[in-house]
């Protein structure tokens, strides 16, 4: 299963002879984002944000995006579990 906004970055362990013994590593990375500019509460200063969801105009839309991101994290968790199990078997 693919994700839209987030992704797993996995790096296998280095078991080559003569190389430093690095174990496997994994990160949660931002795969897709947008830059938004808004004003602070005073309205005088611009603030820049990196966002990983579309703009939501209702609580229902916002809840949908939260659930989508939770599903993405659950997918990444499964991918990482599979990755680390595979690395331990080496």
What is the tens place of the pLDDT at every residue in 56-89? 999 999 999 999 999 999 999 999 999 999 998 8
| pTM: predicted TM-score of the whole model, two decimal places | 0.81
Distance CA 50, CA 54 (A): 11
Q: pLDDT tens, 5-48?
A: 999 999 998 766 666 668 899 999 999 999 999 998 888 999 99
**Which of 26, 25, 48, 22 has its CA nearest to residue 35?**
48
Helix (H, G, I), strand (E, B) or coil at 78: helix
Helix (H, G, I), strand (E, B) or coil at 42: coil
């Amino acid at each position: 299963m693919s994700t839209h906004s987030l992704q797993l970055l996995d790096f296998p362990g280095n078991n080559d002879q003569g190389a430093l013994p690095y174990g496997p590593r994994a990160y949660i990375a931002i795969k897709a984002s947008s830059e938004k500019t808004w004003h602070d509460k005073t309205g005088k200063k611009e603030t820049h944000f990196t966002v990983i969801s579309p703009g939501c105009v209702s609580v229902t839309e916002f809840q949908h995006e939260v659930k989508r991101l939770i599903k993405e994290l659950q997918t990444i968790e499964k991918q990482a579990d599979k990755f680390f199990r595979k690395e331990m078997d080496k």
